[in-house]
A and B are shown apart, each in its own frame.
Chain A
């Protein structure tokens, strides 16, 4: 049984088929790269898995359970957490506050215990703060901990997005172009963290345009073109396939 499975999944916007009849199986612990020219349906695919859109046709399974049709918060609760292509933040909060809001869903204590400030809640809270500090250090956000989220530079906002996803304890992490607008060093820093997560058993699906990053981190690559899956396999092979090159060339000519 595959860990995450898409069966004949399509998403149509009116007459436009953003994702068309995609079949995809992802194993636990894999790092799957998704490539494809602009507008080929990569983000839509993540939106489908995370529940932002419902598939027009087809079904998505996670751990043998059907998840297509569930609300995004239900899917997140199951451990599928995504980041966004643009910097999506809790504007007006600081870095720690953003991370705490994200971490609240992981507490074992409930809202009443928090309201009454019981011992169990305080213990839980202490653990969460510990986790926040750990992640803030891991993602090099330590100097910015008390800065407002929207005041960070672009690269650090991307880092904060990843940190907020990580604190939600993902089983499957969906990253939508995590390294856009980053220089080589920063991108490699992110690659390191992705590898670290993978070692901890987290399944990662990432959309990536940067070939260096992709070849470095992905264990498998899927290529989309006009919503269709046109290639699926080992990174080096997929990137040399005729169809993939043509798909990319096609867009460059346009």
Chain B
């Protein structure tokens, strides 16, 4: 009996509890289309996943200390690339989709090489402008983008295996749902590895102290550009999926408000984590936004949305977001660990 109690203390509840919860949660999410084919439920989940990918991109860029105010521009670039290649040029869907993220990433690379030498506020301003520039080009370049009429993008073609139709994107939303899951999973995997590897640590170094990092042999611009480009690629895919899901893209779909939304999702979720934070943030805020938009008191929506953001940012300072709640709860309530307090400098 005593042995039993001893072993019980060896179990690391602090880590096991959230891991089990996350595992069950993932299984549950994967099974959702089996239980329900409800259009509202599924499309909400699909959109949440798309925004989560975009928010991951923002968090990655922020990891290098750069604050992008134009992440939605890359959704627009990916969306337009895929729509133009399929609808305007008649190319098949899957190659076009794959290219869309690369187009968006290429633009990020080029923009990054020009502005990330300086970074900081200049980068924020240029990315802000980039959003508007992309929108203006989409509006003006009529032969390619059909201007304000937008482009009708068709659903992905059915996947046929051995003469048998395996997946039909027009039959239900379930295929889109799993498409979204794949995108979130691939993005999550890549970002998680980046965070764990030397790249992620170097990113953090450039953000935490650029001068020190530079004098330790880190070429700041190189790492900022890598982060911005990788974010550009995956945000482009998110935009392409968005476009083929709604089956239309216009210059009005992705603007400053969407960029701000991406930023808020990332910050509220917690910028300390490249994958979990953005997912938690987008689940909360996309659904909150959807719920609020159904209330018909004008002004109340933005007020409540803003309040949630302010409350989270106020009560979870220093880059901690909702993903860090568990750890704080565990340390303070269960474990009763003292918060660490820095020594006073001696002189």
Which residues, 163 to 200 on B, are CB-close (under 8 Å) to A?
193-194, 197-199
5 contacts between A and B (CB under 8 A): A71-B219, A93-B208, A111-B197, A153-B343, A168-B216
Q: A226 on the interface (CB 8 Å rule)?
A: no
Residues in A whose Cβ lies below 8 Å from that of B9:
none
Contacting residue for A76 out of B216, B342, B346, CB 8 A: B216
Q: A72 on the interface (CB 8 Å rule)?
A: yes
Contact across chains for A90 and B205 when beta carbons are under 8 A apart:
yes
A104 to chain B, nearest CB (A): 5
Contacting residue for A92 out of B208, B213, B216, CB 8 A: B208
Residues in A whose Cβ lies below 8 Å from that of B209:
88-91
Q: A216 on the interface (CB 8 Å rule)?
A: no
Using an 8 Å CB-CB cutoff, how does the interface string of A142-161 with B read, 1 for contact, 0 for none? 00000110111111000000
Residues in A whose Cβ lies below 8 Å from that of B341:
151
Q: A101 on the interface (CB 8 Å rule)?
A: yes
Q: How far is the CA of A81 from the CA of B318 in the complex (A)?
A: 30
Q: How far is the CA of A97 from the CA of B196 in the complex (A)?
A: 12
Contact across chains for A111 and B212 when beta carbons are under 8 A apart:
no
Contact across chains for A154 and B197 when beta carbons are under 8 A apart:
no
Contacting residue for A114 out of B197, B208, B212, CB 8 A: B197
Q: How far is the CA of A107 from the CA of B218 in the complex (A)?
A: 13
Residues in A whose Cβ lies below 8 Å from that of B343:
151-153
Residues in B whose Cβ lies below 8 Å from that of A100:
201
Number of A-B contacts (CB under 8 A): 94
Using an 8 Å CB-CB cutoff, how does the interface string of B205-227 with A read, 1 for contact, 0 for none? 10011011111111110000000
Q: How far is the CA of A91 from the CA of B65 in the complex (A)?
A: 13
Q: How far is the CA of A46 from the CA of B52 in the complex (A)?
A: 46
Contact across chains for A115 and B215 when beta carbons are under 8 A apart:
no
Q: How far is the CA of A28 from the CA of B208 in the complex (A)?
A: 33
Contact across chains for A76 and B217 when beta carbons are under 8 A apart:
yes
Please give the residue numbers on chain B whose beta carbons come within 8 Å of chain A beta carbons, in ascending order. Answer: 193-194, 197-199, 201-202, 204-205, 208-209, 211-220, 318, 340-343, 345-347
Residues in B whose Cβ lies below 8 Å from that of A164:
212, 216
Residues in B whose Cβ lies below 8 Å from that of A102:
205, 216
Given A104-B198, A104-B202, A111-B198: A77 touches B347 (CB 8 Å cut-off): no
A72-B215, A101-B205 known, 9 other contacts, Cβ within 8 Å: A52-B215, A73-B216, A76-B215, A77-B217, A90-B208, A102-B205, A105-B218, A117-B193, A151-B342
Contact across chains for B197 and A93 when beta carbons are under 8 A apart:
no
Residues in B whose Cβ lies below 8 Å from that of A115:
193-194, 197, 199
Taking each of A73, A74, A91, which has the highest tally of chain B beta carbons within 10 Å of its own beta carbon?
A73
Which of the four size classes fits the interface of chain A?
Answer: 35 or more
B193 to chain A, nearest CB (A): 5
Contact across chains for B198 and A107 when beta carbons are under 8 A apart:
yes
Q: A130 on the interface (CB 8 Å rule)?
A: no
Residues in B whose Cβ lies below 8 Å from that of A107:
198
The residue in chain B whose Cβ has the minimal distance to the Cβ of A78 is: B217
Contact across chains for B214 and A104 when beta carbons are under 8 A apart:
no
Q: How far is the CA of A81 from the CA of B213 in the complex (A)?
A: 11
A133 to chain B, nearest CB (A): 17
Residues in A whose Cβ lies below 8 Å from that of B205:
90, 101-102
Residues in A whose Cβ lies below 8 Å from that of B198:
104, 107, 111, 114, 121
Q: How far is the CA of A104 from the CA of B223 in the complex (A)?
A: 13
Contact across chains for B208 and A73 when beta carbons are under 8 A apart:
no
Taking each of A91, A104, A148, A154, which has the highest tally of chain B beta carbons within 10 Å of its own beta carbon?
A104
Residues in B whose Cβ lies below 8 Å from that of A153:
343, 345-346
Q: A220 on the interface (CB 8 Å rule)?
A: no
Contact across chains for B347 and A181 when beta carbons are under 8 A apart:
yes
Q: A50 on the interface (CB 8 Å rule)?
A: yes
Contacting residue for B345 out of A77, A89, A105, A154, CB 8 A: A154
Residues in B whose Cβ lies below 8 Å from that of A50:
215
Q: How far is the CA of A73 from the CA of B218 in the complex (A)?
A: 5
Q: How far is the CA of A115 from the CA of B346 in the complex (A)?
A: 41
Q: A82 on the interface (CB 8 Å rule)?
A: yes
